[in-house]
Chain A
Amino acid sequence: MSEDAIAAEHEIVLEAQKDEMAFGKLYDKYFDGIFGFVYRRTDDEALTADLTSQVFLKALQNIKKYEYRGLPFSAWLYRIASNEVNHYYRKHNKTVIFSLEEGRVADLIDETEESSEERIAVLMKCLKEMPTSIIEVLELRFFEEKNFNEIAFILEITESGAKMRTYRALEKLKGSFDIKMKQYNG
């Protein structure tokens, strides 16, 4: 998202802070993204619908407290969503799920590689062995295409911490895979 686009979006946020009805524009823009993000962490459609609704309700209730930090508004929504999902898992004493679509996982592997199905299976196995803290960073970096600044804000960690987790995971994966360098360096 370009700086101009972020600034233009901030105008809508300011409007929503004055008049709650303007929040509808932000709701329409980000509903699908947040729904997908929550769904990948729950793998349950009904639960995702509930949690997503809760995310937007919290955002609406706290819109006046929102502070612009040069990041897209979505980063704030993802932060609320991440907290909501974690809160749900803590409350129900369940293990966090990360469901990644095979098609999106395949994007990480070089298309020229042979027997990609097997490679995807190996990659999925590698991902399963990784701790949740690393998976969530990888997910935001590669599947949600967030930059490190946004990841740091969403997960309430430092930017260097987010980079460290990503590089550590990629170093591990690079042993078995040719991770696309464009995404690695991005």
Chain B
Amino acid sequence: MTSRRIERHKNYAQLMNKHQKSQRLKRIVQWVIYVFIAFILMFAIYYSLSDKKEKSTEQQSHLTSINVNTAT
């Protein structure tokens, strides 16, 4: 194959465009992953906190019921 024919396929500008596009896509995917991880962390924290709160209210209600029993 002649070098002139090979030259026809040379397109650095197109290569750079493809690269920039893929970089943008990579950044978007990375951002989505970070957001997803942040959501999971937030939910994990929320549930662990709400679970703790539920347990403490349960304990409190148990104590009041005991108090009620001792009062009578």
Contact = CB atoms under 8 A, between A and B. Distances in A.
Contacts of A39: 1
- Measured as residues with beta carbon below 8 angstroms from the partner, the interface class of chain A is 10 to 19
8 contacts: A27-B12, A27-B15, A31-B10, A45-B9, A48-B9, A53-B9, A53-B11, A57-B22
Contacts of B22: 57, 61
Contacts of B5: 45
- Measured as residues with beta carbon below 8 angstroms from the partner, the interface class of chain B is 10 to 19
B69 interface: no
Contacts, number: 41
A181 to B, nearest CB: 30
A151 B22 CA distance: 30
B6 A56 contact: no
A35 B12 contact: no
A56 B6 CA distance: 15
B1 A36 contact: yes
A36 B15 contact: no
A126 interface: no
Given A36-B1, A39-B1, A60 B15 contact: yes
Interface string A7-40: 0000000000000110010011001100110010
Interface in B27-41: none
Interface string A144-173: 000000000000000000000000000000
SS of B interface (majority): helix
Nearest to A50: B9
A122 B9 CA distance: 34
A82 interface: no
A31 B6 contact: yes
A56 B15 contact: yes
B19 A49 contact: no
A65 B23 CA distance: 15
B67 interface: no
Contacts of A60: 15-16, 19
